[in-house]
Structure 1
Amino acid sequence: MPRDMEREYKEILRQYIENQSEQNLYLGETFSRGLIEKDISPEEVISIHKSALKDVLPGLPSKVWHSFDFLIEMMIRYGLALKEHQSLVKKQEEMQVEMELASNVQETLLKTKIPSIEGLDIGYVTVPSRTMSGDYIYFVSNEVDEAGVAVADVMGKGIPAALCMSMVKFGMDSLQHTEKGPSEVLSVINRIVEKSVNDSMFVTMFYGKYDAGNSLFSYASAGHEPALLYRAAEDRFHELFAKGLLLGVSEDAEYGEGAVTIEDGDFIAIMTDGVTEARTPEGFVEKETILDLIGSVKDKNAQEMAEHVFAELDRMQGFRLQDDFSLVILKKK
C-alpha cells in the first residue's frame, strides 16, 4: 500500500478512536472505496491497520498484536477465495446476458403463425422452464383447406438444444408449402437432424395434418408423446399412436402414419412431456388428472383450453415448471 495511503488511514483511525463520530465512519467508508479501486487485498488492509494501531495505541498487550497476525493469515486464503467468487459471479452475469440475448433470438427465430382454416379452431401455449426452450411448435398451411402442426422436444436444455431446434425450424421452413404427408415430413426432418446435429442430441416430434375437405387428421410420430383425441359423441379420450424412431437416430428411419376423421365438437391435444410428466412435491401428476383438466374445459375455445391446462398445472407445481411446457389444441367447430 502506498505510504500516503498508510498515513491517511492512520489519521482516520486516530480520529475515530478519539471521537467515534458519524463523520469519522464516513471518512473510513470513503477511504475503503479507494482501497477497492487500487485492488488492495484484505490481508494488506489488516496489516496497515495493525501498523497504524501500534502508533495510535502503542500500549496494547502483545497478545493483541499476535491476534492480528492470525487474522492476516486467515485473510490471505479468504482474499483468494473472494477473488475467485467475484470472478465466477462476473462470468455468470456475462453468461446470463448471453443467454437472454440467445433467448430473444430464439423467440424471434421460432415464431409461428396460427393457420386460419374454416371449421378449425387452434390454440396453443408454449412456456420454457428455463431461459431457453427445448420445445418447438410450428404450423404450416395452404391457408385454404389444409393445416399442419409440428410439436417437437429436444432431449437437452440451453443453447445446444436451441441450436438443434433451429435445424428443425430450417427443415420445416423448407416444407411450408409441401404436399407431403406426415410420415414423409418426419423422414425429411430426420435426415436433416441426423446430418446436422451432434450424436448426443435427439429430438422427439409429432406431426399432424388436417384436411378440412374431408375432416381427416393424419399424423406420424418420431418417438413423441401420443396425441389425445377427444370424441364428443362418446365423451372420452383416445390416444393417437404411431410408430417411429426419435429424430437423429438413424438416417433410414421409417415412420408409420395414422388417420382419424374429426367430427363437430371433437378436438385433438398434442403436447410435450412437460405436460404428461408434470411433477409436484408429491410426485408425477396422474394421467387421469390431466385428462380431467382438459375435459373440464372442452366447451371453451381452443386457446382458452390450452391456457387453462397450463395455468392449473403451473399452479399444481408451485409455479415452478420442472420441464418446458407445450400444448396445442385443434378443435373442430
Structure 2
Amino acid sequence: MSQLPVRSGHPSVSPLESLRLGVRHRQLSASGQIAWRSVRLAMLCTAISLALTAILPGVWRNLLGGAAALCAATWVLKLHWTSVGGRRFWRWSLLISIGMMVVPWSPLIITGRSMLSILLLVLLVLRPYHFLRDLGSGRRALTWLGAMSLVVAFLVLRGPAEATNPLAQVLHHIHGSARFVLVTFWVMCGVWIFLGVRLHFMRMRPKLAVAGLLIAAVPIGLILTLGVLGAWSLLGAGRAEQATAVLADQLDLVASGNLRGPGPFGEGFGEALLAPGEDPADRPWMSDLADAVASAPFDPMPPAIWLDLGGELWAVALTAEDGRPVLVGGRHFGRKQLARLAESTGCLVGMYNESESGWSFGHQDLGDDSGLIGGELFEDSSDSGVVMLAWPKHVRDAVALDTDDDLFILSRMLPFGAAPVEVWRLGDRGLARDEYYVGLHTRPGDALAYFTGRENDLNMVVVIALATIAVIFIFMEAFAFYFGLRIVGGVTGAVGHLHKATEQMASGNLDTSIDVPNEDEFGDLADSFNEMTRAIRIAQEQIVQKELLEAQLETARLIQQRLLPAQMPNLDGFQIAGTSDPSLQVGGDYFDFVEMPDGRLGIAVADVTGKGVPAALLMANVQAGLHGQALHPGTAAEIMGRMNDLLYASTDAHMFVTFALIVLDPTTGEVESVSAGHEPTLLIRPDGSYEKLEAGGLMLGMLPGFEYSEVSAQMDPGDVLVLYTDGVTEAMGPEPVAQLVEDTSATEPVEDEDEDDDELILPFFEDHRLIDLCVARRHDTAEEIRQALLSAVRNFAQDVPQSDDITIVVVKRENAA
C-alpha cells in the first residue's frame, strides 16, 4: 500500500484531521451569539404568551398573556433595533403612541393603536433584518421553522379576550398590539430567511431529500387545499341555495294562504299582518303601506315579497286590481322562524343587510322558550347591519362568530355560504329595493357530518370516488417518491463513495479507487479521481526516487569533498591555487597534489564519467591509484600507464576517467605533462604567448597495456600553468548561437538543412575565452587568476544552471627577487 509521507513538522495533526480542518465550520461571532440568544428568548416568550392566551379565561388572558406577549415584543424590537436608523425619532414616536393607548378614552386609544400599527409596520416590514446575517445557516433554518410554527399557532389559537370595561379595553389593546408586533416580526423573519435560504449546513443526502419532498409535497398540498376550499365553497353554496329556496317556498305559501288566521302554516310563521276581523283603517300606517305598494316599481309584480318594516321582516302577499299592486296581507318572519330555517339547514343562519358601518355579524336573543340557545354578541346590534341570527340545537356549544372563545380554529364557527335575498324597505319615498343576504356559518366537523350523512347517499358515492382517486394519487406519489429516492440515492451514493475515497486518500492510502456504476458526470468524476490517485502515486514514487537520488548525491558530495585537498601545497618559488565548484548534480571532477619520492610534485586533474555515488567511488579509486603509483619511481607517462591498467582491471567497462598529470621539479622548473583524453594543459608565457601540452593518449580504463606519451616543458619565472576540466570550456550561456553569429560574424548564416528543427543550441564558454582571459591576467597571482576564471564563467552563464563541475588549478612560478 502506498502511503503519503508524514511531515515531521506537524506530528500532532493527522492527514485525515488536516482534511477535516479544511472543511468550513462557521463559528458564531459575539454579535451572532447575542442575536441567537435573543431569538431563542423571544420564541420562548412568544410560546408562553400563546399558551397563556389559549388557556386562561377572560381578563386573565389579557393580563398574563399580554404581559408575556409584551415581553416577547420587547425582545424582538431590541433584536431588530440594531438595523434601525434615526432611533431617536422611532423611540419618541413609539412612546407617544403607547402613551395614547393607556389613556382610558376610546377615541384616543383607537388613534394611538392606529399610529402604533403604522409605525410598527414601517419598522418591521421596511427595515432589513441584519441580525440574521450573524446567524449560521443551520441556526437560520431553526429560526425559520420556529417562526413559521409560531405564525401557525397565532392563526389557529384564540386571541385576546373582548373588553368589558375601560381597564380591560386598555389591556386588550396592549395585548393586541404586542401580538401584532410578534406576528409581523416572525412573518418577516420567515420571509427574509426564505429569500436567502441556502441550507449549507445540511449534508448532500438530506438536502436532496428535502428538495424532493418539497417538490412532491407542495403540489399535493396545494391540490388538497384547493380541493378542501372548493368542497367547502360548493357545500356552503348548496346550503345557502337551500336556505333561499326555503324562503321562496314560504313566500309562495304566504301568497296562497289565509293571511288573517292561523292558516295551514301552524307555527311556521309569526303573527299576521292583520288579525282576523281587523280593519286596516284601525292602523293608520297601513294606508301608507298600501299607497307605497300601489306605487312600487314592480316589474313584473310578484305574488309575494319580503318587506322590511321598521327593522322587522315580513312576508307580504300582493294582488293586482286595476293594474295596480294591492296589499293583501302578510306574516311576520321572526326569530323562531329563522331558528326553524337554521334547523332545516343544520347551520347557524343570519339575515344581514348593509348598514352604514358596513357588513357585520350579530344576532338577537331567541329566548329559551323556543328550545334554541341565543345570546347578545354586540351591544350595538341595532346598528351592525344584522337583522337576525339563529343556530340549530346540535351546536348549542357554539359561542360566537367573530370572537376567539374556542381554543382551536377548527372548533369555531366558520363562514360557510351566503346568498342574496330581495327585500323591500318602506321609506319616506315609498318602497325601495334593499340588499339582504342570508349567511350560513358552521364548523368543519358539522360540514363533514352533513356531507357524509345517511340522508346524502349521493355524496357517499362522491366520497368513494374521491377516495379512490386519492388512493390512485397516493400510489402515483409513492411511485414518484420511490423513483426520486432512487435518483437521490444514485447521486448521494456516488458522492458518498467520493467522500470516503478522499478520506482514505487523506489518511495516506493512495491505492484507493472508486467503482461508481454511474454513466453521468459522477462516473466521469470517479474516473478522474482514479486517474488523479494514480498520478499522485506515481508522483509520490518519483518523489521517493528523487529523495533517494538526493541522498546519493549528498553522499557523493561528501566523498568528493573529502577526496579534494584541504589546503594548497607550499612550494618555494611557486604559487598554487586550485578549486572545484560542484554542479547541482555531483559529477566526478577531481584534483590533487602528490609528493614524489624524488622531491618532485605531482599535480593531477581528473574528470570521471557518470554522476552520483558511482562516479564518486571511482574518483576514490583514482585517488588511491594515483597515490599508490606515485610511490614507485617513473616518468609521468609510466605512472599514467600503470593507473590505466589498474582502473581497467577494477572498474566496469562503461566507466572511464579523463586525467591530466603534471610532474613539476621545483628546483629546475622542468615540467612533464601527460593527458589521458583530458583537456590540454595551458602554459602561458610572460610575453603573452602560450603552449598547449596535449601529449598523452586514451582515457583511463579503456584499453589495457596502452602506452602513453608525454611532453616536457620548462617553466620559467613568470610562467603560468593552467589545468582545468571541461566544465569550464563547456559552460553554457543564455544567448542562442544564431545571435552570437549575427553579432560576431559578417558572413551569411548557414542555412539549416533541418528546417523543422526549431531547437536553439546554447553557446559554450569555449577555449578561446579561457585562453584570452589567462593571457590577459598572466601578471596576476595564481589565486587572482583562479578567481577571474570562475567569475568569467559565471558571468557568461548568467541564469543558466551549471550542468557540470568546474575544476581549475593554477600554478605560477614567481619572478626571481
**TM-score, normalization by structure 2:** 0.34
CA distance 1:191–1:332, shift in 2 (3 Å): same
Q: Secondary structure at 1:156's aligned position in 2? A: coil
1:148–1:293: structure 2 CA closer, same or farther, 3 Å change rule?
Answer: same
1:274 shift after superposition = 1.3
Cross-structure match for 2:688: 235
Q: Which residue pairs with 1:186 in the alignment?
A: 640
In structure 1, the partner of 2:34 is none
Question: How many residues are paired up?
Answer: 293
Q: 1:144 to 1:123 in 2, by over 3 A?
A: farther
Distance of 2:24 and 2:764 partners within structure 1: 62
Match of 1:101 among 536, 546, 555: 555
Which position in structure 1 is the counterpart of 2:798? 318
Tell me if 1:217 matches 2:671.
yes
Query: Aligned AA for 1:74?
Result: S
Comparing 150-159 with 219-228, which one deviates more in the overlay? Answer: 150-159
Task: Tell me the residue number matched to 1:87.
Answer: 541
Matching residue within 239, 255, 263 for 2:716: 263
Q: CA deviation at 1:99?
A: 2.2
CA distance in 1, matches of 2:688, 2:603: 25
What SS is found at the alignment partner of 2:697?
coil
Q: Using a 3 Å threshold, how does the CA distance of structure 1 residues 137 and 329 change in structure 2: closer, same or farther?
A: same
Q: Distance in 1 between matches of 2:586 and 2:683?
A: 30
- Seen in structure 2, the aligned counterparts of structure 1 residues 13 and 293 have a Cα distance that, compared at 3 Å, is closer
Q: 3-state SS of the aligned residue for 1:97?
A: helix
Deviation at 1:78, TM superposition (A): 1.5
Task: Identify which range, 64-73 or 209-218, moves more after superposition.
Answer: 64-73
Query: How has the CA–CA distance of structure 1 residues 19 and 147 changed in structure 2, closer, same or farther, with 3 Å as cutoff?
Result: same
* Alpha-carbon contact 1:207-1:220 (below 8 Å) kept: yes
Cα distance change on mapping 1:148 and 1:76 into 2, 3 Å: same
Match for residue 280 of structure 1?
733
2:625 to 165, 168, 171: 171
Q: Secondary structure at the match of 1:82?
A: helix
User: CA offset at residue 122 of structure 1?
Assistant: 0.5
Corresponding position of 1:298: 778
Change (3 A) 1:171 1:237: same
Native 8 Å contact 2:597 2:631 kept in 1: no
Looking at structure 2, the residues matched to 69 and 15 of structure 1 have their Cα atoms a distance apart, in angstroms, of: 31
2:694 alignment partner AA? F
1:244 and 2:697 equivalent?
yes
- Name the counterpart of 2:662: 208
1:332 corresponds in structure 2 to: 813
Asked if 1 retains the 8 angstrom alpha-carbon contact of 2:587 and 2:609, the reply is no
Distance 1:228 1:71, change over 3 A: same
Question: What's 1:195 paired with?
Answer: 649
3-state SS of 2:696 partner: coil
Distance 1:52 1:73 in 2: 23
Deviation, 1:91, is: 2.9
Do the aligned partners of residues 275 and 15 (structure 1) sit closer, same or farther apart at CA in structure 2, a change above 3 Å counting? closer
Q: Confirm or deny: 8 A CA contact 1:140 1:177 kept in the other structure.
A: no
Would the alpha carbon gap of residues 15 and 289 (structure 1) be closer, same or farther in structure 2, given more than 3 Å must change?
closer
Distance in 1, matches of 2:613 and 2:767, equals 31
Could you give the per-residue CA deviations for residues 125-154 of structure 1, whole angstroms, max 9, x where no partner exists? 211223422111011125995211111112
> Residues 13 and 142 of structure 1: is their aligned pair in 2 closer, same or farther, counting only changes over 3 Å?
closer
The AA in structure 2 aligned to 1:274 is: G
Larger radius of gyration: 2
Contact 1:115 1:143 in 2 (8 A): no
CA deviations over 1:286-322 (Å, ceiling 9, x no partner):
4322212222322221122112101211221125223
CA contact (8 A) 1:134 1:162 kept: yes
- Larger proportion of strand: 1
Cα separation, 2, equivalents of 1:330 and 1:96: 35
Cα distance between partner residues in 2 of 1:145 and 1:13: 78
Alpha-carbon distance in 2 for matches of 1:118, 1:292 = 28
1:53 aligns with one of 189, 199, 204? 204
Contact 1:118-1:212 within 8 A present in 2 as well: yes
SS of corresponding position for 1:106: helix
Structure 2 CA distance for aligned equivalents of residues 52 and 322 of structure 1: 55
Q: Percent identity?
A: 28
Q: Secondary structure at the match of 2:572?
A: coil
Q: 2:707 aligns with which of 254, 260, 264?
A: 254
For residues 792 and 137 of structure 2, the distance between their equivalents in structure 1, rounded to whole angstroms, comes to 59
**How far apart are 1:193 and its partner, in Å?**
0.9
- Matched with 1:40 is none
In structure 2, which of residues 562, 566, 584 is the aligned counterpart of residue 130 of structure 1? Answer: 584
Q: What SS does structure 1 have at the residue aligned with 2:692?
A: strand
Equivalent residue of 1:280, what SS? coil
**Alignment CA distance shift 1:112-1:150 (3 Å):** farther
Name the residue aligned to 2:194: none
Stretch moving more, 60-69 or 154-163 = 60-69
Counterpart residue type for residue 716 of structure 2: E
- Give distance in 1, aligned partners of 2:536 and 2:583: 31
Deviation sequence 1:22-75 (CA, Å, 0-9, x none) = xxxxxxxxxxxxxxxxxxxxxxxxxxxxx9401234227969935444322321
- 1:202-249 CA distance string (max 9 Å, x none): 1111100111221101111111111111111x3211111203111111
CA pair 94-323 structure 1, distance change in 2 beyond 3 A: closer
Q: Deviations over 1:67-124 (max 9, x none)?
A: 4443223212222221222232133223312321332133213445422211111111
Q: Answer whether contact 2:552 2:613 (CA < 8 A) is retained.
A: no
Q: Is the 1:168–1:192 Cα contact (8 Å) retained in structure 2?
A: no
CA distance 1:116–1:90, change in 2 (3 Å): same
Q: SS where residue 713 of structure 2 aligns?
A: strand
Query: CA distance change for structure 1 residues 207 and 185 in 2, over 3 Å: closer, same or farther?
Result: same
Q: Which of 136, 143, 168 pairs up with 1:19? A: 136
DSSP 3-state at the match of 2:774: helix
State the distance in 1 between where 2:601 and 2:25 align.
Answer: 82
C-alpha contact (below 8 Å) 2:601/2:664 kept by paired residues: yes
CA shift for structure 1 position 188: 1.6
Q: Structure 2: any 5+ residue segments left out of the alignment?
A: 1-15, 28-134, 139-201, 213-483, 492-519, 737-762
